[in-house]
Amino acid sequence: MAVRHLSDDDYLTIERQLGAHNYKPLDVVLARGQGVWVWDTAGRRYLDCLSAYSAVNQGHCHPRIRDALVEQAHRLTLTSRAFHNDQLALFYEEVCALTRSHKVLPMNSGAEAVESAIKAVRKWGYEVKGVPPGQAEVIVCANNFHGRTIAIVGFSTDPTARRGFGPFAPGFAAVPFGDAEALEAAITPNTVAFLAEPIQGEAGVIIPPPGYLRRVRDICTERGVMLILDEIQTGLGRTGRLLAEEHEGVEADLTLIGKALSGGFYPISAVLSNSEVLGVLKPGEHGSTFGGNPLACAVARTALRVLVEEGMIANAAAMGDYFLAQLKRLSNPMIMEVRGRGLMIAVEFHEQAGGARRYCEALKERGLLCKETHEHTIRFAPPLVITREEIDWAMERIEAVLTH
């Protein structure tokens, strides 16, 4: 096949002509990445402040994870779950030891982990709690984001996510995020679970009041309801702890992880659970051809070791505090709030600022990549390997754009 030499405009034209228009990316075509940096097709360098929505917490193309991928790809990539493989048991063992989980259900995408958890708690509700058939209820939070499947967008409160995709599956009720009393009032005898993000990422890095997760944990325990925490974006070091639930010393009944579970190399997610819930699943009731495949497991094992052994979680806490403090010093009357935890940070603008997209485009021109969310908010979430010097480099550009 002949080598094609394409310009950025060529790539963008082909994407617009042949691809579904379900994304609105910045007009930059990336070709290479290392650590916190990425390069476009012309060799221009950018500091990545999105981290593929926290999928590359370990930095782009981490050499240890890459070597694990290549080594396993030479040995065995896929067996399906019709047979055992020599990586799955080790993945189970290591992820359970790290997170104090009792059972693991490996899947591929974050949305699959969410769907799997919903299926499992419904079945637990019928077989263990005694909920009448077809009556199980799951309580979720307003402004949630858990994925894009039909079931998940069906319990979203975002009109853009829902419009034109119904009819939706029943059995879900929404309460305000951060309001434990609203959760308690919404629980019925048919409630099997409460599903929430410890910090709402896509909603704009919305952090609940102190003590919220602790109170939610107590309510769920008292009322016989399973607590599901979606840590697909907040987990694996992003907030300065391995899991965001650790900030309040709670343990969910089911914790969902994904994204950075592979360091951005390969799709893998997991439902981490107590034995009571996942114990209800029997052969033939749930599965995935690629779920738990040896390539994904080998990559995930190394990705987890890298996070811990290379001090990335502690670095996220320290650099997050520093980055947040620098951003809070910005002087711009259009900035409504700067908030964050660890390296999950948001700058929200007043509506009269005209939206956050223009700031993201201006920052791109200065070599920094970030993305707006919910129109008026910029999320800053660089890889967890970022240094103080790199934050200072970023702040020079952020200050130049956001204060003029």
- List active site positions: 145, 230, 259
What the block records as the tokens of 45 is 């360098």
What the block records as the tokens of 350 is 């007043």
CB 349 within 8 A of CB 336: yes
The number of CA neighbours under 13 Å toward the Cβ of 204 is: 19
For residue 391, the tally of other CB atoms under 10 A from its CB is: 23
What the block records as the tokens of 240 is 């300065």
Coil, strand, or helix at residue 296? Answer: helix
Which backbone phi and psi does 215 adopt, to 5 degrees?
-65, -40
Pairing of strands 172-175, 137-141: parallel
* Spatial distance between the Cα atoms of 190 and 135, rounded to a whole number of angstroms: 6
Which backbone phi and psi does 13 adopt, to 5 degrees?
-65, -45
Matching residue, tokens 């990559």: 299
- Residue 285: partners with Cβ closer than 8 Å, 6 or more residues away: 123
Angle, CA 292 vertex, CA 244 and CA 197 arms, to 5°: 20
